[in-house]
Structure 1
Amino acid sequence: MQRGKIIFLNGVSSSGKTTLAKTLQARLPEPYYWLSVDTFMDMTPEKHMSNDDDEVIKTISAMYRTIKVFSDMGLNTVVDDVFSVSQELLDECVEILHEYPVLFVHVTCPLEELQRREKERGDRTIGQAEEQLSILLPLDNTYDVTVDTHNDTIEKCADKIIELLDCHNNYTAFKILWKQRNK
């Protein structure tokens, strides 16, 4: 069975990952299942989230393994995540998925727009996006493609990603990150 493709969206809070994921689902001719770190975090009982970092790490690890299972079953996914602070989690994700068809997408927009979106949403900690900007991993910006959800429409960002999906030569970022990690 052919593995399902993985569109892995990485960007700070309020950068447009969720909107982009839903737009991709609507525009792609084949089904793509949306797996979001927020959904996985919401599954964890709140009383265990606030005082147990190990529970958070286990939850995120479970998401990476779920992505692998979907792909192994031939199911395409679009993943919405933010790699910040924990190099170990990025390393774990790369270890699990480096042999899979992962298109690693950096989702970005200017700080001023991130701040405006945070205020408009009302469900985010003000300043969270700015704080994440300086610690977004990978620090060397190893991505297959970067999209700017402020300077381009969300549809144009989706089209830029869709154009890359049919050529497996475009799926290199996780392989590069894997080689860097294992030098």
Structure 2
Amino acid sequence: MSQGQATRSTRGCSRVIHFIAVLQRRLPIGSIADVPERPATAGQIVILNGAPRSGKSSIVTAIQDSFDGPWMNLGVDVFVRHVTPRRYRPGMGLRPGEEGHAIAPLLPALYAALYDSIAAHSRAGLNVVVDVGHYDRTILAESARRLAALPVLFVGVRCPIEVVMERRNAGQAGRESEYATGSEADPIPAPVRRWQDAVHVPGIYDLEVDTSLLSPEECAVAIRRRLEGGPAPSAFRRLADSAK
């Protein structure tokens, strides 16, 4: 090695040593070595599947307010309203029968990202509650596979279409233009019927609740009882297996 090469090598080593020293001053002592290990127990996942205005979001709130520990809301509403760029909305909120929509090809990737995020939170030991409206069986099966070996309770949130229309027609503060409403000439618009027909196919659930009969708090109690009293959830495993 020439004298010039040796000098450059020494300078390079000095820069690395200096960088490490600066990094050590900026980081708390032991901040790398003392990173806690992944929790031994994965966080519980509760997935609420139903049509828009069936009451899923209210159940999410009831769970977050009453269940022990932190329950992270990673539902479609959150991703559509706060994560998805405006020009790519409604994103995962795309309705049944709109397969020709310009954003339809993005749906598999959007759902994959959503469910990978759910899995990451669970593996970190955080409980997760999710509101979705699955109507594509291929995407549903792939989503189920992404949560393999994690504790998932799949809940069907049902609500008669007449009650759904009452809620749509009554409106929701801040979301007045997001939901199709009825009229005298067309009391139940076709998109609403398509949601009602498609969202509960194939109907494999661990638990079902009817929000026309139960309040959000009562639905949350039913979910808690199912989690605590068993039997062990199996719907997502069966959905994943059905597509193999």
TM-score after normalising by structure 1: 0.90
* Distance change >3 Å, CA 56–CA 45, structure 1 → 2: farther
How many percent of aligned residue pairs carry the same amino acid?
A: 29
98, 107, 111: which one aligns with 1:60: 111
Residue 198 (structure 2) aligned to one of 135, 153, 161? 135
Matched ranges for 1:60-99 at <5 A:
60-84=111-135, 86-99=136-149
Larger CA Rg, structure 1 vs 2:
2
Task: Decide whether the 8 Å contact of 2:209 with 2:219 is kept in 1.
Answer: yes
Shift of 1:56: 3.6
How far did 1:168 drift? 5.9
C-alpha contact (below 8 Å) 2:43/2:128 kept by paired residues: yes
SS of alignment partner, residue 113 of structure 1: helix
Q: Specify whether residues 27 and 94 from structure 1 end up closer, same or farther in structure 2 by C-alpha distance, changes over 3 A only.
A: same
Answer whether contact 1:41 1:59 (CA < 8 A) is retained.
no
2:198 maps to amino acid: I
Report the CA distance between 1:167 and its aligned residue. Answer: 4.9
Structure 2 length normalisation: TM-score? 0.69
Q: Deviations over 1:121-148 (max 9, x none)?
A: 23312334322111114x2311000001
How far did 1:47 drift? 2.2
Segment of structure 1 superposing worse, 162-171 or 63-72: 162-171
Which runs of no fewer than 5 residues in structure 1 stay unpaired? none
Secondary structure at the aligned position of 1:24 is classed as helix
**2:73 and 2:128 in contact (8 A); partners too:** yes
What is the SS of the residue equivalent to 1:107?
Answer: strand
d(CA) in 1 for partners of 2:196 and 2:239? 20
- Aligned residue for 2:125, secondary structure, equals coil
Mean Cα deviation higher: 15-24 or 47-56: 47-56
Q: What are the equivalent positions in structure 2 for 1:27-176 lying under 5 Å apart?
A: 27-42=66-81, 43-49=83-89, 51-84=102-135, 86-121=136-171, 122=176, 123-126=178-181, 127=189, 128-137=191-200, 139-167=201-229, 169-176=231-238
**Counterparts of 1:79 and 1:35 in 2: how far apart (Å)?**
5
- In the TM superposition, what is the alpha-carbon distance from 1:171 to its structure 2 partner? 1.1
CA displacement, residues 100-141 of structure 1 (integer Å, 9 cap, x when unaligned): 10000000111110011111123312334322111114x231
Structure 1: how far apart are the matches of 2:73 and 2:192? 22
Shift of the 152–168 alpha-carbon distance from structure 1 to 2, 3 Å rule, reads closer
| Bigger relative contact order (CA 8 A; separation at least 6) | 1
Is there any run of 5+ residues in structure 2 with no aligned partner, and where? 1-39, 90-100, 182-188
Structure 1 residues 167 and 73: CA distance shift in structure 2, 3 A: farther
User: Which residue in 2 is equivalent to 1:7?
Assistant: 46
Report how many residues are paired. 180
More off after superposition, 11-20 vs 55-64: 55-64
Matched residue SS, 1:170: coil
- Rate the CA distance shift 1:109–1:151 in 2: closer, same or farther, 3 A: same
Deviations 1:63-120 (A, max 9, x none): 1110000011010000010001x22210111111132100000001111100111111
Higher strand share: 1
Partner-residue secondary structure (3-state), 2:102: coil
Q: CA RMSD in A?
A: 1.7
**Larger CA deviation: 89-98 vs 43-52:** 43-52
Change in 2 beyond 3 A, CA 1:168/1:98: farther
